[in-house]
Amino acid sequence: MQVLIPTPLRSYTNEQRLVEADGATLAEMLMDLERRYPGIRFRMINEQDRMRPHIRFFVNRDQVFDLAHALRPGDEIFIVQALSGG
């Protein structure tokens, strides 16, 4: 499946905006991203396996809050940074 990478994380993906990753759940997809682009997962998911406060995940344009959310081949995943303040 294709994953849209936000600009703050493109230093991990050789500046690629769209990358491929696999997994039956959002958590598995993120582990696969980590295998392909070491270091990227910890910037989004903390050591207690929780989403960091300003990172948002969208699957087929619906926001998802559960890392166990099931994925299907062909799903379109957007990773978004929700930054606020100056």
Partner 1 sequence: MIRTARKKVTRTAARPKARVLVLVGTRKGAWLYHGDPARRTWRVDGPHFLGHIVNHVMLDPRDGRTLLAAAKTGHLGPTVFRSTDMGRHWKEAARPPAFPKVVEGAPSKPRGRVVDHTFWLTPGHPSEADVWYAGTAPQGLFRSEDGGVTWAPLASVNEDPRYREWMGSEQDGTPDGPKLHSILIDPRDPSHLYFAMSSGGVHESRDGGQTWATLIKGMQVVEGFDPAVLTFHDPHCVRLCPSNPDRLYQQNHCGIYRLDRPGDEWERVGRKMPKRVGDVGFPMVVHPRDADRLWVFPMDGTSVWPRTSPDGLPAVYTSRNGGKTWQRLADGLPQQQAWWTVKRQAMTADAQDPVGIYFGTTSGELWTSRDEGHRWGRIAQHLPEIYAVEAATLVE
Give 62 or 84: the residue with its C-beta nearer to partner 1. Answer: 84
Interface ranges with partner 1 (CB under 8 A): 8-9, 38-39, 42-50, 52-55, 81-85
- Give the shortest CB-48-to-partner 1 separation in angstroms: 4
CA dihedral 67, 68, 73, 79 (to 10 degrees): -10
With beta carbons less than 8 A apart as the criterion, state whether 2 and 76 touch: yes
Distance in Å, CB of 73 to partner 1, minimum: 28
**Closest to 71 measured CA to CA, from 33, 23, 3:** 23
In the bound state with partner 1, the residue whose beta carbon lies nearer, of 8 and 23, is 8
Considering the complex, what minimum distance in angstroms separates the CB of residue 57 from partner 1? 13
Q: Which is nearer to partner 1, 45 or 59 (CB)?
A: 45
